[in-house]
Structures are given as structure tokens and as C-alpha cells.
Amino acid sequence: MAGILNDDGAWSRVLRQASLVATTVVATGAAASAAAEVWRRSRRTDGEVRPQRMKRGLTWAEVAKHDRLDDAWLVISGEVYDVTPWLEDHPGGQFLLLAFAGRDATEPFETMGHSAVARKELRRMHVGSLEDSTLAKDALPAARKRAGLERSATLTGGPDFKVEEDVVAVPLWGVESHGFLPTRDPVPVEALIGTPFEPFVDLVDVLPSLGFTGALRSQLDGDPEMQERLLLCGEPGALLGLSDDQIERAFGVVVYVMVAYWRAGTLEYSTGLRGVSGSGDAATKAAPGGSCAIGNVTDRMPAFLARPVMALSRHVGRPPMIDYASSVLYNWTRINKDGPITMSNVRCVLRLTGLIDEEWFMKTHVVIESESSHVISAVIAASRTDDETELLTQLVALEEALWRVVRACLPIMYERSDDGTPKCCEHIFYQILRPLIKSGLLTFEGEGSNEPLFLHGPSGAMSSLLPCVDAALGIETSSEKLREAMAKFKLSMPVKHQQFIDELVGTPNIRKRILVSRPVGESSDSEHYDALVRAFNRVISRVLDFRWQHWQYIKNFVMKPGNISHAVGTGGTSFDYLQQHITDTEKARLTERQDGALRVVTPGVPMWASTHVPPMANHPSLEYWSVDGKRGLLGREPLVSPSKASWAAGLPAPMLSACEEVWNLALKLPALCAADGPYYALVDRSKDKLAPLQDDRVLIGMSEVAREHLMTTLCHIAAGCHGTGHRKPPPCIEKPLRVVARSVGRPPHLDFTEIVLSNWDATYPRENRAGSSTGQETEPAEADTQQSPQMHVVWRFLGTPDEEWYRAIHIVMHDEARDVIAAIRVAHVAMRDHSDGGVVNSLEQTSNWLNKFCDYFDEHFEVKDSRTESVMIRRLGPFLSRGKFSDLGWEERGSRKVRADMPNDAAGNSFEMLPIETAAWVYCCGCSVLLPAIHAFLGVEQCPREAHDGAGGDRIAQVVRRILDEGRVFMPRSHLAFLESLEKPGVSIRQYCFRRFGAKMVSVEALHDLEVAYNDALNALGRYVSRRVHLVSRFFPMFKSSFGALHSEYETHMRVERLQLLKMRQRVSRGLER
């Protein structure tokens, strides 16, 4: 150390070099603090910020330049704000602001429900207004030139491969000079001619054709002579006299032939289609894959292939399967033997298909490994030096090498041909190549054991590059499962590579060495230490860049074409380890000295204040309309005859008799309402029997269950009167309906609450309840509670299967809504406790519930004849009308005034809903709280306010929004209170995810799980809403295109609302770096 301190010239040269990369490029914590302090000093004593000179006509290009920790601008509603002084004070953390630096932040700002104080603070940071620009909002600024530092993202061509005679003495997989590529060019397949493995040579060039069609398996199975020749390759003496190069080539050839035999003819249409006129049933004749379909995949490898494979596997010390070494590291040859390793000068030796996509995919990894040789050289030099000057120099070189790999090599995978087609199509990779090389179980015959082996397919995780860098830098693996997975992948690396990684693990890593050298307090060593920390953090940033790019590979080549959220790699391991790697890498950062003291990042310690989630209203479970009851969103008790109802036990005899008469009148609805029947006259003749209902005090004194059941029955009777051509029901019904409606807090009209939610009864399979189709539900025996009850409708107008079907499926759905309500309750408890796992589980339960009922609807759509449904809904139209509320004395509901523009005719009389209004009512599920509650829970709009173009979409949207607004008036009080509690600022899952993103302690995998679970819930919700559109299309064919256009807008809105927390996190990392 003394020598280093005395050599000022050496240190100054290194520091100048490092400062170009580390000091001027990285926005350090100290720099950020200094910038923030300058802003704080600019504040006036009264707390205001000195106004800046306002700029007008700012462009997106100008805004996009301000995306750093020390210079952050946001755009909100077209206005530009400089939030740099607010970064450290932001309650949600600086991460959240930095994620939108240089971009439009309108949606997250409005979603989070900022207070008036926050909006006032924002106005003080106003910079100017944004002008219209043709540039995209996410346009990034041109590459900045810092301190004259310009890097060239071009390939170096990799290491020099010597051809001298004595190079054979160098170990094939040595890492000193060529990184993890072999130390000399791989030998061609022809190098096996004259060896026992010569029979395999003839098979290599025909693998793409014979392997794809399944002919390879047929050919080998039917050729005993070839089998004998192949068996000789498994003899103990077959490998004698072969060089390491020949053995490595033999291993690659044999495992490729083995996999081609194993997966022969398993792809769709690989063996063609049988003729339609042939024998067999239609399903068999049209089955893709032909005779070698998935059912004929072999799980046993015959001895003539098993023995050679196992012999080579034992010799090279790797599993008997195509691995990264055989498919990438030793699967290339240079076209120009004196030229560099580039995409144009390298071709693959072994292939399973004839696709350029396979060639491009493998060659890209060859180039990555070639350029990574500079990374390994820097790692070796940094790990072996005791000189801090040399260590700093090698860290700078390591960062430069990793930067080139990330910027010059990884993007090669996405290159396109001149005609615009990708050179490696993600769909071809996923549908054709990936199934051939994926992991699987295989039994090797003739090896003394019948137990199958699980073989891991080739995976990027088998590359030694990042495990080597992790070991050298001290990036620890926190997950036991991750360590186990990496240990399995390590077995597929060449033995020399395994030994090299073990050597790095056994020596002090760079991170520990830097921490040991840190000074205490202020000393002359501070400058040296800070330079090392900055250089080390730059290397960590490059490793993160590499892992983020690798994650993009996974998303583009596996998740996107497979339309899946969670996937398994070709190596057979979940991709969750990638997110864990990113988190572990972030934790390895060292924090620089600030204000004369060293602050080291401690993983797991909260860096930001916890956020407060507003409390949710908890409704007592004994309420008739409690959303937390065992009947979900249905009424607590079934609708039964007063003579069988428990609530009627204490009623006076005249009142009980009147209630029985009401029940009997409702039973006659289908018979007497058809064709303007005499239903009104029948009701009017019953006025004497209904006289006890005119006593307001007795009605109001009835139990809640009694009033709700009476409300439902009276509403059906009133609707029956209206359906027969009368504006109002007889006074003997009108007055009690008005009184009961006031007491329950809803308008005296028929809506979804009365049609479905309180209009149900249930029977259990073991009950024998003969007689009336409706009867009192008795508590089943304990054994019966495990069986689902048969839910059915009580009151009906038409008595048709279509009417019964529509009401019954919604009764079942709202009965089982208890599961999604429970998920919402659990989610809010989890949000309060900052339990990301609990939130994810709740989102998954919500998705499962929505998908379950999508399937439920699909099953009914498939089996039910829809030809009578449009007629049924037209027949129901007259009964689904409403009168003007004031006709029945309904003026207001609490503090909520009834809309003055609710439809009615000029005379203020009742009206029949127009078909478009009825269609919108069906689409919205009437006044049901279910869909509004799920949308509010997720923090998205049920009917976006954007314009709906074409096919009457704008008119449909207006009607839908009006139905949704009016539906609140018809909701039960508890349901409305539940919905309003979900709509409070800060309660939605979306807002919680943004808050968690702003918490620095949240790991990448936790953010990933939240993002995936939330987006899956949006997908499931969109899928369910599409079933509502399908239902409308069945009932109202004339509105199919209009509601289709509405749903297209809805799907577009939902795509915009999808979370991109990981992308935001990556942007933050880059912003912190700058």
C-alpha cells in the first residue's frame, strides 16, 4: 500500500482512466445529495421554491434528456415539472419518480390519488408546457458525449487461435487465453473417419431431414448391421488413441443423433396428414403429427445408441445429453480460418433442423463467448493481483469488456434480414427448436439400470461466464433452490471450467477485498477507495445489464410466443432463478462515501418510509346484504313462502295473511301476464286481502329479511302490471312498495337486485323437497354441506328455459362471488402488512375465479341453443321498465340525488327501456356490484372515457356509463359501501404495486411476481368481460358489431394498464448509473 501511495504518477494515470468511466458516468449518491442540497438552498424561508424561468413549447426530445438522478423532469397532463429537488423527499421513494423521469407520468400520478398539498407542491416545480411533437413519448435522447468518452459497440473478433503444432499440448478447455471457448478451433466431423465413431459421421448431414420426419428411428431400428457398428462405439477400447478434440467431437455427434432418434417425428405435421377418404374416424385422420404423434414418443434409448452415449458421457464428465458445450462452445467452424469469430465467418457444425433460426441462435452464443474472452482475462488478472492500482485497472477493463458483450453481442439475436424477417424467429424457436432440445426423462438400455435419467437440455445457464463473474465479484446466491439449480447446470460444463469456478470461489472475492481496504474516517486513502468502489459498481451495472437482456430473451423467445407468464427453460428449470440473480446482483453494490462517512447498503433494511393503506370497511356478516356472508353477493336467506319463513313467526295474523296473498299473486305472473293478460285486474281485486300492507308502521317494523323478500315480490308484481300495459300498479301494491323501498334504501323498481340477487332458492342433492318448486332451504346435514346446492329462480315472468338459464347462471355466479370477495379482503390485509406474497396469492385467486366462470359460461354457450334467446329478451323488455322515481315518491337516496336525466317520457310516466339500453344493462350485469368491485380492486376503469370510434361505439359507451352510474342507486346499501371503500384513493392493487415499486427493499422477483399476477388478473378480467359481450351478442344480434367495437376499446385500454414494473426497475438502474 505504501508503494502505491508514493507512486502518485501511477495512481493519477489510473484515476484519470477510471474517472472517465466511473466518476463522470455514474451519478453517485454524493453527487445526487449535492444536487439536492443546491435545490434545498434555493428554497425560500416560507417553503416555496424560487420560480424558474418558464419555458414554452418544450419538445419530447428536450424532456427525454432529463432522466437522471440529478436531473429529473416529468410530464403530467402536458405540463413539464422538474422534480429533482423532490426525489429524496418523495413519500413513495425516488425510485418511483426516477422510473418516469423524462417521460409522461400522468397515469401513475392520477392513479395514486395525490392530495391537494401534493398538487400544490407540484405546481412549484413547473418548468413549462409541452408542445405537440411527432416524436414518441418514450423517445430517448441521442447518445450523450461525456468527457470525450465514446465507446464503439463493435466486435473485436475474439481471441487469436494459433495453429502451431505444439498448441495441441494446451488443454482443450483451458481458460487462460480463449475464455470458455476451446483453445483451438473445433475439429470437423470428418476427424472421426477412421475411428470407431465413423458410422455416426454419415448420419450428421441427414439429421435435419431424417430426424424431423421420424425416418431416422425407423432406419436405425431396421438395420441390424448398423446397430452392431454403433454398439462397437460403446466398447471400453473405442476411445483409446483418440485426442481430446476427437472425443469432444464424438460426444457432440453422438448426443445429436441420440436426440434426433429420441424426438423423431414428434412435431406437428412432421409425418403429414392421412387422406380424408382413408379408413378410421375423422379425428384420427385429421390428427397432426401422423403416426409419430406425441403418443409415440419413445422414453427408452436402445443399447446401440445408449452404450456409446454413456461411454462418452463418463469420459468427458458431463451428462449424456446435448448441452451448452456441445451445441455452442464446440459446435462451430470458421469459414475463413484466418478470419475473426463473427456472425459472417462462423457456421454451425451440428444441427437438428435445416432452419436458419437454429443456426443464428447458436452462432449468437458463439460470438458472445468469443467476446467474453476479454471478460475472463480481466477476471483472472483482477483476482490474482495484490496491487490496488492493477485491481482498479482490471475493473475498468472488465467493465469495458462486459459493456461490449451487452451492447454489441446480445442485440445480434434480434437482427433481421433485408426483407425485414427476423433471422431467429421467436415462434420458430418456441414451436420447433425448443421441443427438440427440451429436458426430459430417458431410460438407457444395456447400462445395467432401468431407472430413467432426467436430462437437462442445453441452457444459457450452463455457460461458465456469469458464474465465473459472480464468483470473482462476490455476488452471492441467497436462494437455496437457486444454488441447487446452478449446481445441476454446473455438471454440464466442461470439467476444466468447473475447476476454474471452484478456484475463484475458494479465493477472496473482489468485493471483500475492497471492503477490507476501506479507510476509517477521513484519510489520504479515501480517494483510492472511492475509485475502487465506483469502478466496482460500474461492473455490477454491466452484469445487471447482461441479466436484464437475458431476461428479455426469455420473454421474447419463450413467454411471448407461448403466451405464458411462468415458464420453464430448455434446461428444465424455472426462470425464476433469473429474477433471483438480478436481486442478488443488486445487493452486491457498494455505496460510496457521503458527507465524509461510509454508508454500506444493508440488504433487507427498509430505505423508505412505509406507506399507509386506507382501511377497508368491514361489513357485519349478519346483514342481509353483507358481502362477507356465506352466500357471497346474494341475499343472506333464500326467498321462500311466508308460511315457511322464519321471519314470519312473529307477524300478526292479518299481516301474515296479506304476505301470503302477495306470494300467491306472484306465483301467477307467467300465466296471467302473457299477451296483456288480466294480471292487473287480478291484483286490483285482491286489495281487501292486501289491506294490512297499508300500515306503514307494521311494514317498517318488519325484519330486514322480511322487508327484502317483500320488496322483491312486490317489484315483480308491479313489473307484471306494467308489462300488461299499465303505467302503475294498483294502489294496494304501490303504497307498500313505496314504503318498503324507502326502508331498504333502493328505488321501488325492478332491477338486478330483485331479478337475481334476492330471487333465489336452493335445494341440496340429499333433500327430497317435493311439491312447490320453491321451498324453504333447511340447513343440510354436515355430510351434505360438501355438496353444491342446486340454485334456482323463484319469480319469473315467462317461465321459459331461456329466462331460467339467464337468471340461474347469474345466481350461481354471485353465490360463488364469496371467493373473490374473500380474495379482495385478504389482499387488503396483505397490503396493510406489506405482504407481497399475500397480494400475489389474492390476485391469483381472483384470476382463477374469473377464469373459472369464463369456462362456466363457455360450457353453457356451447351446449345451449341460442336461437330463442333474442326472442326471450324482447319478451322480457316490457317488464324491465322503470317509472319516474317521483311517481312513487322516490326523491333521493341519502345524500345522493337521483339523476335528473334518467329516461322517462315527456309526461314523466314510466317507459320501456330501449333495446340498446337493455343490451347495455345485460352487458353491465345490471346494478351488480361484482364487476365494478373487481375493476376498482384492480384500479382500472370498467368503461374507459376514451372515444369509441365506429359502429356506434361512442353511443354504446355513453349508455354503458349511464347504466353504471344509475346502477349505484339500485345497489343494496352494503354493496355500495363495499364498492366505495374499494374506490378510495390508495386502496387499489395497482396503486399498491406502484408503492411497492418505490420501496427500494423490494426484490426484483417480488416485483416480477406482482407484475405477472396483476397482469394475469387483467387478462382474466378482459376474458370475462368478453363473455359479457358474447352474451349480449346472443341476446341482441343487431348490436354485435357495436359491442365488439366497445370491447376492442376496452381491450386496448387494458393493454395500456398492464404493469411494467421490471422495465421500470431496469430504467431506474440505468438512471442511477447515469
Tell me the per-residue pLDDT of 973-988, one tens digit each, with 9 for 90 and over.
999 999 999 998 888 9
> What amino acid is encoded at 614 in this protein?
P
Tell me, what's the pLDDT at 1074? 58
Tell me, what's the pLDDT at 341? 92
Length of the chain: 1074
Grid cell digits, residue 589: 453494490
Cβ contact 197:161 at 8 Å:
no
Q: What does the alpha-carbon distance between residue 321 and residue 262 come to, in Å, rounded to a whole number?
A: 11
| Phi, psi for residue 675 in degrees, rounded to 5 | 55, 45
Q: What does the alpha-carbon distance between residue 28 and residue 46 come to, in Å, rounded to a whole number?
A: 30
Tell me, what's the pLDDT at 823? 93
Cβ contact 1040:869 at 8 Å:
no
- Which CB contacts under 8 angstroms, 24+ apart, belong to 946-951? 946/1049, 946/1053, 948/1045, 948/1046, 948/1049, 949/1045, 950/1045, 951/1041, 951/1042, 951/1044, 951/1045
Q: Measuring CA to CA, how many Å separate 687 from each of 653, 665, 681, 693, 1032?
A: 17, 11, 10, 10, 40
Q: Please tell me whether residue 312 adopts helix, strand or coil conformation.
A: helix
Rounded-to-10 torsion of CA 555, 63, 408, 494: -50
| Neighbouring residues of 962: CB distance < 8 A, sequence distance ≥ 6 | 920
Tell me, what's the pLDDT at 292? 37
| Phi, psi for residue 440 in degrees, rounded to 5 | 180, 170
Strands 71-76 and 103-104: parallel
Q: What does the alpha-carbon distance between residue 451 and residue 614 come to, in Å, rounded to a whole number?
A: 57
The residue that leads in pLDDT, 100 or 254, is 254
Alpha-carbon Rg for the chain, nearest whole angstrom, is: 36
- 739-757 pLDDT, tens digit per residue, is 999 999 899 988 999 999 9
The residue that leads in pLDDT, 911 or 123, is 123
Q: Measuring CA to CA, how many Å separate 754 from each of 642, 698, 699, 762, 879?
A: 17, 22, 18, 16, 12
Mean per-residue pLDDT, 555-581: 68
Q: How many CB atoms lie within 10 A of CB 256?
A: 24
- 286-318 pLDDT, tens digit per residue, is 333 333 333 356 788 999 999 999 999 999 999
Grid cell digits, residue 832: 396493510
Q: How many CB atoms lie within 10 A of CB 131?
A: 12
Cβ contact 823:848 at 8 Å:
no
Q: What does the alpha-carbon distance between residue 331 and residue 723 come to, in Å, rounded to a whole number?
A: 80
- pTM score of the predicted model: 0.64
Segment among 421-435, 488-502, 905-919 with least mean pLDDT: 905-919
- Determine the Cα angle at 891 with ends 889 and 896, to 5°: 150
> What amino acid is encoded at 277 in this protein?
S
Grid cell digits, residue 515: 471492503
First to last CA, the chain: 31
Indicate whether 277 pLDDT > 50: no
- 1038-1070 pLDDT, tens digit per residue, is 888 889 889 988 988 888 888 888 778 777 777
Q: Which of 40, 63, 43, 59 is nearest to 51 (CA)?
A: 43
Grid cell digits, residue 938: 384492480
Q: What does the alpha-carbon distance between residue 988 and residue 936 come to, in Å, rounded to a whole number?
A: 6
Tell me, what's the pLDDT at 1000? 66
% residues pLDDT > 90 (the chain): 32
Mean per-residue pLDDT, 599-621: 37
Q: How many CB atoms lie within 10 A of CB 812?
A: 20
- Determine the Cα angle at 28 with ends 26 and 32, to 5°: 125
Tell me, what's the pLDDT at 935? 95
Angle between helices 1004-1035 and 989-997 (to 10 degrees): 160
Q: Please tell me whether residue 149 adopts helix, strand or coil conformation.
A: strand
- Which CB contacts under 8 angstroms, 24+ apart, belong to 13-19? 14/389, 14/392, 14/393, 14/396, 14/531, 15/392, 15/527, 15/531, 17/393, 17/396, 18/392, 18/395, 18/396, 18/531, 18/534, 18/535, 19/147, 19/531
Cβ contact 699:740 at 8 Å:
yes
At 522, is the pLDDT very low, low, confident or very high (cuts 50, 70, 90)? low
- 7-41 pLDDT, tens digit per residue, is 444 444 444 444 443 333 333 333 334 433 433 44
Q: Please tell me whether residue 252 adopts helix, strand or coil conformation.
A: helix
**SS3 breakdown of the chain: % helix, strand, coil, rounded to 5?**
55, 5, 40
Q: Which helix (H) or strand (E) holds 333?
A: strand 333-334
Mean per-residue pLDDT, 170-192: 91
- Determine the Cα angle at 846 with ends 842 and 850, to 5°: 170
Give all strands (DSSP E) within 492-627, no chain letters.
593-594, 597-598
| Phi, psi for residue 597 in degrees, rounded to 5 | -135, 155
DSSP string over 932-1001: HHHHHHHT--SS--S---STTHHHHHHHHHHHHHHHHHHS-HHHHHHHHHHTSTT-SHHHHHHHHHT-TT
Highest mean pLDDT among 351-360, 567-576, 839-848: 839-848
Q: Which helix (H) or strand (E) holds 80?
A: strand 79-82
Tell me, what's the pLDDT at 577? 65
Q: Please tell me whether residue 853 adopts helix, strand or coil conformation.
A: helix
Tell me, what's the pLDDT at 1073? 64
Q: What does the alpha-carbon distance between residue 578 and residue 557 come to, in Å, rounded to a whole number?
A: 15
At 224, is the pLDDT very low, low, confident or very high (cuts 50, 70, 90)? very high
Tell me, what's the pLDDT at 491? 93
Tell me, what's the pLDDT at 239? 92
Residue 637, strand partner residues = none
Grid cell digits, residue 145: 458525449
The residue that leads in pLDDT, 393 or 99, is 393
Q: Which of 482, 433, 428 is nearest to 457 (CA)?
A: 433
Tell me, what's the pLDDT at 153? 63
In three state form, how does the secondary structure of 785-834 look? HHCCCEEEECCCCCCCHHHHHHHHHHHHHHHCHHHHHHHHHHHHHHHHCC
How many separate helices (H) and strands (E) can be counted in the chain? Answer: 46, 17
Q: Measuring CA to CA, how many Å separate 391 from each of 426, 506, 513, 1033?
A: 41, 18, 10, 70
Q: What does the alpha-carbon distance between residue 1031 and residue 809 come to, in Å, rounded to a whole number?
A: 12
HSE at residue 777, side-chain half, CA atoms within 13 A, is 19
Grid cell digits, residue 207: 439429421
Q: What does the alpha-carbon distance between residue 112 and residue 710 come to, in Å, rounded to a whole number?
A: 43
Q: Please tell me whether residue 79 adopts helix, strand or coil conformation.
A: strand
Q: Which DSSP letter does residue 1029 get?
A: H
Tell me, what's the pLDDT at 176? 85
